[in-house]
Amino acid sequence: MDGSKAGLVVVGASLAGLRAVESARRVGYRGPITLIGEEVHAPYDRPPLSKQFLVDKRNPVPLCTEGELRERLGVRLLLGYKAAGLDPDSRLVRLDDGYRVPYHRAVIATGAKARGLNGSGGLAGVHTLRTVEDASTIREALTLGARVVVVGAGFIGAEIASSAVSVGATVTIVEAALAPLVRAVGEVVGTELARLHDLAGVRVVLGARITELLGTTRVTGVRLADGQGVPADVVVAGIGAVPATEWLSGSGVVLDPVGGGIVCDEFLRTSVAGVYAAGDVASWPNAIMDRRMRMENWTGAAEQGARAAINALFPDRAKAFETVPYFWSDWYGSRIQFAGTALAERAEIVTGDVEHAQFVALYSTGGRVVGAATLNRPAKIMKLRRLIERRSSVDDAVQLLERSPTAGVPEPAAGRAQSCP
Ligand SMILES: Cc1cc2nc3c(=O)[nH]c(=O)nc-3n(C[C@H](O)[C@H](O)[C@H](O)COP(=O)(O)OP(=O)(O)OC[C@H]3O[C@@H](n4cnc5c(N)ncnc54)[C@H](O)[C@@H]3O)c2cc1C
């Protein structure tokens, strides 16, 4: 491998891309590495963008500096360059300025882009949140007394609402589904979590579709399908993200017709020889969870990036990638954590509730625990994640909870691994 002049090319200079580069060096790869990123920044952490960044003006700490990447990891860094195409026959990544980067192995880690609201073209005050630039613009707009409409009651929408409330804005969440977070955590837990919004004084309008954004040059509100108008100075869409794959058109890289992610096998190999994918952009069969999935969480992107690079560079050491998905979210001073899947026969809150500021919910199928959700129980969620990984029974999970029913200890920066080695 080391002899190949083209070396490893990683497209997407964020979490999964960085972890790919780091793990390549960690396992002893000495060949050339090129990291291509559309953003002009060194890789940075996105989770704070909807949380502390909006509230206390702390700028995100880079996951790794340009200097570390170049000097310590020996990476050729192409920041501010968008990959515009991939040619598998000549093994080239084409950049938007026409420049061509040869690869021997490639890892695609282009993540996802925030989905925008229809009809928002050019209207000031309407935002999406994915990048540090998006977050800076939203931060400027979140002021004392601002009327904020958050579209979508998912995790990012909830975090934006929480941040907006803490700077003194008045917030309404508009959600199309009849219960929030159904896809992510199921109806039982979604409905329970929605009570956090009530306790914080945030109005949540469920089953509501936005038919119109009001205003001529600047947004003044939104119109709902029932005719109701909700006034707004700021509208933020938290309606999901779409995998960033448009640049792969015509490349032969097969995309999943459901969800649009890059179809990978269990080794994170795409349909094109020598090309792997990792992070929010990748869809792969996850043996532990017995299903194909595409994750949109920090821990999964980090783990997948690291594995994709090793599999790409050292086929003799390749391992199938499997994981129990895990994510966290912070709203109104509470930490929500989830492990596994909510696609289960049964979902039940087995202890606690929102009023007591902590709970544990278990998800099971055929008597096996397949998922767990917690509110302010950080010590428990990691143990439950291990039980899910071991395919334990839901009874084992209940016993675990009974053994030490009190709250867990504060978790240091949950799910966050360290940056550069
Ligand atoms: C506001 C916010 C808050 C979040 N909070 C949490 C949380 O609390 N907990 C949690 O578990 N997860 C959270 N996440 C999710 C987590 O941040 C993502 O799962 C993670 O960033 C995915 O990493 P990635 O490297 O796969 O993709 P991304 O971080 O999306 O990075 C992809 C990179 O590729 C670049 N790119 C795209 N197309 C091209 C191209 N054609 N050429 C070159 N470069 C390209 C993009 O510009 C980007 O820099 C949050 C995400 C957001 C946006």
CA distance 407 to 72: 42
Ligand 1 atom nearest to 300, measured from its CA: 19
- pLDDT tens per residue, range 185-225: 999 999 999 999 999 999 999 999 999 999 999 999 999 99
Quick one: average pLDDT of 110-115?
97
Question: Taking residues 253-266, what's their average pLDDT?
Answer: 96
Centroid of ligand 1 to alpha carbon of 109 (angstroms): 9
Do residue 130 and residue 103 come from a single domain? no
Same domain, 107 and 246: yes
Q: How wide is the angle at C-alpha 180 spanned by C-alphas 175 and 181, nearest 5°? A: 120
Quick one: which atom of ligand 1 is closest to the CA of 43?
49
Amino acid present at 409:
V
Nearest CA to ligand 1 atom 24: 111
Between the CA of residue 99 and those of 92, 230, 350, what are the distances in Å? Answer: 10, 48, 57
The tokens for 178 are 């009849």
Q: Are strands 92-95 and 100-102 parallel, antiparallel or unpaired?
A: antiparallel
Q: What is the pLDDT of residue 105?
A: 98
Domain with 335 in it: 326-403
- Residues with Cβ within 6 A of ligand 1? 11-17, 36-39, 46-47, 49-50, 82-83, 109-112, 129-130, 156, 244, 247, 279-280, 296-299, 301, 327-329, 415
- Residue 385 belongs to domain with CATH number: 3.30.390.30
Task: Examine the domain organization and report whether 120 and 103 are in the same domain.
Answer: no
Q: Let me know whether 337 and 292 are in one domain.
A: no
The amino acid present at 236, given as its one-letter code, is V
**What's the 83 CA to ligand 1 centre distance in angstroms?**
16
CA pair distance 42, 325, nearest whole angstrom? 26
Q: What is the pTM of this model?
A: 0.94
Indicate the pLDDT class of residue 403, thresholds 50, 70 and 90: confident
In a domain, 3, yes or no: no
pLDDT band at 404 (very low <50, low <70, confident <90, very high): low
Q: What's the mean pLDDT when you consider all of the chain?
A: 93
pLDDT at 417: 35
Domain boundary among 180, 211, 239: 239
The three-class DSSP label of residue 372 is strand
The pLDDT value given to residue 333: 95
Residue 161 shares a structural domain with residue 182: yes
Mean pLDDT value across residues 284-302: 96
Q: Is residue 150 part of a domain?
A: yes
Ligand 1 center to 46 CA (angstroms): 6
Is the C-alpha dihedral spanning 203, 129, 156, 241 positive or negative?
Answer: positive
Residue 375 is encoded by which pair of tokens?
A: 């509110």
Give dist(CA 113, CA 416) in Å, integer.
22
State whether 68 and 160 are in the same domain: no
> What would the pLDDT profile of 136-168 be if each residue is shown by its tens digit?
999 999 999 999 999 999 999 999 999 999 999
Choice among 340-344, 395-399, 409-413 with the minimum mean pLDDT: 409-413
Q: Is the pLDDT of residue 3 over 80?
A: no
Cα 353 to averaged position of ligand 1 atoms, centre (Å): 31
CA angle 168, 230, 170 (to 5 degrees): 5
SS3 259: coil
Q: Are residues 306 and 396 in the same domain?
A: no
58 or 383: whose pLDDT is higher?
A: 383
Per-residue pLDDT at 248 exceeds 50 = yes
Place of tokens 């050491």: 317
CB 25 within 8 A of CB 74: yes
91 contacts 103 by C-beta, under 8 angstroms? yes
In this structure, are 192 and 125 located in the same domain?
yes
Residue 375 and residue 288 share a domain? no
Specify whether 135 is located in the same domain as 216.
Answer: yes
Count of domains for the chain? 3
Clarify whether residues 105 and 132 are in a common domain: no
pLDDT at 407 over 80: no
